[in-house]
Amino acid sequence: MNNYFFIYLTLALLANITGIYAENAEYIIAIRRKENDENYIHASPEVQKKIDELVNDKMNDIYEIIEDKRDTYFLDNGEMDNNLNELENVNQLRKRSNKITKFYFINTSSLKRINDYKKRSLDITNSNSTIEYIPFESNIINHVCPVSNYYTVNAYLSDEVAEIVCNLDNVIHCEKSVPLDLPTPVKVQNLNETEIEIINKNKNDMNEEEYETDNSLPIYYDIEKIKNETKWSDVSVQYDEYYINHLSSISQGPIFLNNKSKDNYFYYPSSAGQGIDIYLMDMGLIVDHEDFDETERTITCDAIINDKIIRYTTENEKKNCNLNDNVYPDHGIMVTSIAGGNIFGVAKKANLHMIASTYSLDSSLRFFNYIIEHATPYKTVISISRGGLADYSDILNEKINELINEGFILIVAAGNDDIDCCAPKDSEEFFNFTGYPQTIVVGATSYEFDYGYNKALYSNHGKCVDIFAPGNVIFPNLSEGSRTDYDSMSGTSCAAPIVAGVAASIMAEHPDIKFDNEKMRQTLIEMSLKDIIYDIKNNDSPNRFLNNGKRSVYSLYDIQEECGPKAGNRTCEFGCCSKDGKCLKYYNYPWDECYVENGCQSEFGDCATLESSRQECKYLLNYKSECLNEITSDMTEEEIETNCSFLLSQECKEFTRNVINGQSICSSVNQYETIPSIENYNKEKFLKNTEICDNNFLKNKEECDKEIMYYYECFVIEDSDVNDINIFRYHADKCKKMKSDKCSVLYQHGKEDYINYLPHCYTLMKYYNYNSMDMMMSLDSYYDKIDNFFKFCETYSEVAEQKCKEVYEENSECYTESNCEIINSSKCKEFKNNIFDNPTHVCKTASISYYEYINVELYYKNIEKCTEDYMDYDHICNYQIQSNYDCLIKENFEKNSLQEMAKYCNNFKYYNCSEIYTQENGLINTLSSCYLYYKQSGYNTLIDYGLNISFDDQKNKETYKKFISECSKNSEQLSN
C-alpha cells in the first residue's frame, strides 16, 4: 500500500481531533396538509397545488424563523456560520416591492415537473394579491421530494431553531440529514500476468449458435439438458477461468460435493436481462471500456445528486460522470460492470443507469424519487452498494415503502463490518439500508469454492440478510485511460449487483410475470442453494447462496472415453479404466469403480487398491490428525490458540472440508472399514471448532486494536524510504516520538518488546497468521530494519539542511524567472507544491525559510500572471490576505472592546489602509488573486477570514465610512 496514505491519514486524524464545530445541521422536514390526502404522486393536480402552496408558506415561516434566530448560528469559535451568508442579500430582494413580500421557493427537485413548477410560479407572482411572491432559490431551505401524502424539504437549522421548526403545525417528521460514510471496499490483490492473459483470452461471449467457448477444450456440457432443467428459452455460455470466478459459481450446484474439477463456464439465459433497467446509486461511471458494450442496450449516467441539487447529466456526462473530478469512480464502475457488463456482468443485455450521488438522507430521498418519476415499474431493479450505521428514518422508510409499492425492486449490500446488520430501528446499532425490512439484503462469500462456500470475513450477517453471493470480482480499470485493463475488488458492494443482475435476468426471461419486490425476494430464495455456506457466525442468518436457475454440475471429468480391450487396448491419460472399459476421472478420491477389487483394469489406467488407499489415508491422518481435534471450553488459552492455528491453516481447511463432504480418500476407505476419527467427525464439530476459533480471534483482535491505537505513533512504515524528500518531515517527526518514554520501551530488546507490550497482536501473528500492523511486513523484518531508521534519526537535521538547499539550487529558475513556460513547467509546479503545500517535505524540517531564496511578492505576481490552475489563486489569495490583514475590516468590528478597537484603528492608520477603500477597485487590486479565484470558482475566500468586505466598491465604501466613524467614537470615548 502507498506509504503516503498512512502519513496523510495520520495528519487528517490530527486535524479532525483539533477541530471544533457547532451543532448546526441539515434537517429533512416533512410537511403534511391533511392526514387523509391521497399519495402525492397519485393526487389530482388541484390537491398537489394545495400541498405545494402549503409547503411554500411553511418554507417562508421557517426562513423567517432562521432570520430572527440568526444569532443562534454562531460557531463555537465565535464566528458566524458561513452557510447563512445568503441572508445578507435577502433584504435587497424584499426592497424591490412596496407590497408585503414572501418568497416563492423554486422547486428544482423534480426534474420531470420543473416546467409545471415554473408555471405555478407565474400564477402566484402574477396574482392581484396584496402579497408579492418573489421567486427565490435558497441554499438554506429547499424542496426535496414528496413522500406518501406529504412533502419534504431540507433546511439548515441550529439546535434552537430546530426545536421551534420541528413543532410547527403540519410538520409531522423532522430528521437530521448528516453525510454518511461510504463503505470501504476490500482490495483482494493485484491481478498477475497469468490472470490478465486468461481474461484477454476468454473475455468474449461464446457464439450462441455453436456454443463454442474455448477451442482448446472439448464441449462437456449439454445445452438441451440445461434448457430442460432451467426452462430458459435459450442458453448462452461464457468461459470464466480465473481465480475470482464470480460468474461461474452462480450457475452450478455445490462443486465440492461431486468429486469433480471446477466447471469454469458461466451459463445464463440468452435474454440476459434484455428490456430490464438496472439503476445504481454510486460515485459515478466511465463508459469508455470494452466491458460496456451498447449494441443491444443503453449504458448511461442519467443524473447527478450533489449539494442538495439533482440535475440531468450533459451529453458528455452521460458517458463520463463523477461527483468529484479529483476522485476516480472505481466503485461506481465496478457495480455497473458486475450488474450488467458485457464481459464480467450477469445481465449482459440489461440497460444500465448510473445516478452519481452523495450519501445522506437527503440524497437517498432524491434518488428514490428520481426512480419513481423516470423508471418503469415491474421492469426495474435498483442496486445500492452503500450502507452503514445511521439513525433510523421514518421518512426514508416511508419513501422505500412508496418505491416498492409502485412496483420497483430494491437490492442492497449488507455491509463490510462483520457485524449483525439487522438491529431494530430504536437501536444505536441500526444499519442503513439493511435495517429497512422491505429491502432485499445481500451478504458476501469468499472466492474459494473448491472445499465449500465461506461467508467472507468482512461480510455482515443477521436475520435480515436474504441471500449471499460472491463478494470478489474483476471489473474494468479505466484509471489510466485503457479500454481493456481490469482490476479486482471485494465486498458486499460487489455481491449486491450480482444479485441485481440475476434478478434482471429472471425478469427478462419471464416478461409476462409482474415481479414486485416480494415476489423477487421469494424467487431468489427458492432458487438459492441452501445450507452450503460455512462460517456465517450467526444462527439467525439464513444460509442461502445465490443461484441463477442452473444447478447441474458439468466437468471435464464427465467425458468418459473408452479404454481397454474393447477400445483397442487404449490407455486412459488421466484417471482409471473401469471394469466396463470407461475412463473415469476423479478429483479427490478414486471412484468405487477405480478399485482393483471392483474390477478396475490397472494396465489401462491409474487404478487404486483398497490397501493403497488405506495407506494413503493412514499417512494423511498421521500428518493431519490435529485438524480433527475437538476444541473444548476447558482448554487453556494457549491450547485453544495452538489448536486454532492448525484448524485455520489452508491444509486443515482442505482436509476437514473433504472429510465433512465425504470427498476425502479416508471417506472412501471408511465405506469399507470404519475409521473412528473420520466416522466421528462431522459438520457440527467443525462449525463448533470454527466458532470457538473465530471468537478467540475477534477477542484478540479487539485487544490488539487497543494496543495499536496506544502505540501507533511509535511505529514507522517498514518499507518507506527515509531519504525521500517528499515525506522527510514525517520521518523526522517520527524520530522525536520514538525517543519518548512511551515509545522507547518498544525498542530496547528487539521484537521481545513487541511481544511484551502488544501481546494480543503477537498472538494474532503467531497463531492466526494475521498481521494487524499495516506498517510492518513481518515482526522479524521490521526489527531487523529499525536500526537503520535510528541511524537516520541521529543525522536528519543536518541532512535536511543540505537536501533543502539542493532543492532550492536545483529549482532556482522556478522563482527567479518570469517566463510563463518555465513557471508552468511540471518541474516548477512540483517545486511550488512541495515548498508551500506539502507539510512533510524536507524543507519543512530544515531551518531554512523560503524568504532566504524567494522574493515572495514578485514570485506570486509571476504565478498570478502565468497560472493555468485557478487553485493557485486561492493559495496566493491567502498570502495577500495575511500580508494586508491589518487593513482588512473584520465582521462585527463594533463589538470589540475600547482597547482592541483603539489598536485596530491605530494599525489601520499606520499602514495607510484608506486607499484600499477610497480608490476605484482598491480591494480588487490589493487582493487580486482572491478576486480571480472568486470569478473562476464562485467562492469568496474573504468569508473564511471573517471579513466584512466584498468586491463591490460601493459596499466597501459604506463599510469603510462605518468603520472610520466607529474609530472616531472610540477615540472620543478613550479621551473622556
Of 440-454, 621-635, 791-805, 831-845, the poorest mean pLDDT is in: 440-454
What's the grid cell of residue 201?
Answer: 483470452
Average pLDDT estimate for 380-384: 98
942 versus 619: the higher-pLDDT residue is 619
372 versus 895: the higher-pLDDT residue is 372
Q: For residue range 257-284, list pLDDT tens digits in order.
A: 666 767 889 999 999 999 999 999 999 9
Q: What pLDDT, on the 0 to 100 scale, is given for residue 432?
A: 92
- Paired strand residues for 453: 533
Q: What pLDDT, on the 0 to 100 scale, is given for residue 3?
A: 44
- Residue 159 Ramachandran class (φ > 0 left, ψ -120 to 50 alpha, else beta): alpha
Q: What pLDDT, on the 0 to 100 scale, is given for residue 279?
A: 98
CATH 1.10.274.10 fits 228-545, yes or no: no
What's the grid cell of residue 609?
Answer: 487398491
Residue 857 has pLDDT above 90, yes or no: no
Residue 215 has pLDDT above 60, yes or no: no
Q: What pLDDT, on the 0 to 100 scale, is given for residue 6?
A: 41
Q: What pLDDT, on the 0 to 100 scale, is given for residue 445?
A: 93
Q: For residue range 403-433, list pLDDT tens digits in order.
A: 999 999 999 999 998 889 999 999 999 999 9
Q: For residue range 701-715, list pLDDT tens digits in order.
A: 889 989 999 998 898
Residue 720 has pLDDT above 50, yes or no: yes
Share of the chain above pLDDT 90, in %: 46
Tell me the whole-structure pTM to 2 decimals: 0.71
Q: What pLDDT, on the 0 to 100 scale, is given for residue 155?
A: 96
Q: For residue range 467-489, list pLDDT tens digits in order.
A: 999 998 988 888 877 888 888 89
Of 191-200, 497-506, 560-569, the poorest mean pLDDT is in: 191-200
588 versus 665: the higher-pLDDT residue is 665
Residue 1 has pLDDT above 60, yes or no: no
Q: Is 263 a catalytic residue?
A: no
- What does the mean pLDDT of the chain come to? 86
Q: For residue range 13-35, list pLDDT tens digits in order.
A: 333 333 334 489 999 999 999 99
Q: What pLDDT, on the 0 to 100 scale, is given for residue 453?
A: 82
Of 203-207, 627-631, 732-736, 748-752, the poorest mean pLDDT is in: 203-207
Residue 122 has pLDDT above 50, yes or no: no
Q: Which amino acid is at 207?
A: N
Residue 189 has pLDDT above 80, yes or no: no
Average pLDDT estimate for 931-945: 78
Q: What pLDDT, on the 0 to 100 scale, is given for residue 518?
A: 97
193 pLDDT tier (thresholds 50, 70, 90): low
Q: Is 282 a catalytic residue?
A: yes
Among residues 777, 740, 771, which one has the least CA distance to residue 758?
771
Q: What pLDDT, on the 0 to 100 scale, is given for residue 97?
A: 56
Q: For residue 459, give the 3-state DSSP assignment.
A: coil
For residue 165, what are the contacts with CB-CB under 8 A and spacing of at least 6? 27, 29, 62, 65, 155, 157, 171, 174
891 pLDDT tier (thresholds 50, 70, 90): confident
Q: For residue range 128-166, list pLDDT tens digits in order.
A: 567 788 888 899 999 999 999 999 999 999 999 999 999
Share of the chain above pLDDT 70, in %: 89
Residue 184 has pLDDT above 70, yes or no: no
Candidates 52, 277, 282, 291; catalytic one = 282
- Domain-wise residue ranges, the chain: 25-176, 228-545, 560-607, 609-681, 706-854, 881-970
Candidates 383, 493, 664, 928; catalytic one = 493
Compute the distance between CA of residue 735 and CA of residue 973 in angstroms, rounded to an integer.
55
Candidates 331, 353, 760, 841; catalytic one = 331
Q: What pLDDT, on the 0 to 100 scale, is given for residue 783?
A: 87
Pairing between β-strand 465-470 and β-strand 409-413 as defined by DSSP bridges: unpaired
Q: What pLDDT, on the 0 to 100 scale, is given for residue 2?
A: 43
Q: What pLDDT, on the 0 to 100 scale, is given for residue 877?
A: 87
For residue 199, what are the contacts with CB-CB under 8 A and spacing of at least 6? 191, 242, 343, 474, 486
Q: What pLDDT, on the 0 to 100 scale, is given for residue 368?
A: 97
Cβ-in-10-Å burial (0-12, 13-18, 19+) of 191 comes to buried
Q: Is 331 a catalytic residue?
A: yes
Angle at which helix 45-68 crosses helix 114-125, to 10 degrees, equals 70
Average pLDDT estimate for 391-402: 96
Residue 644 has pLDDT above 60, yes or no: yes
Q: What pLDDT, on the 0 to 100 scale, is given for residue 522?
A: 98
Q: What pLDDT, on the 0 to 100 scale, is given for residue 190?
A: 52
CB 578: neighbour CB atoms within 10 A?
25
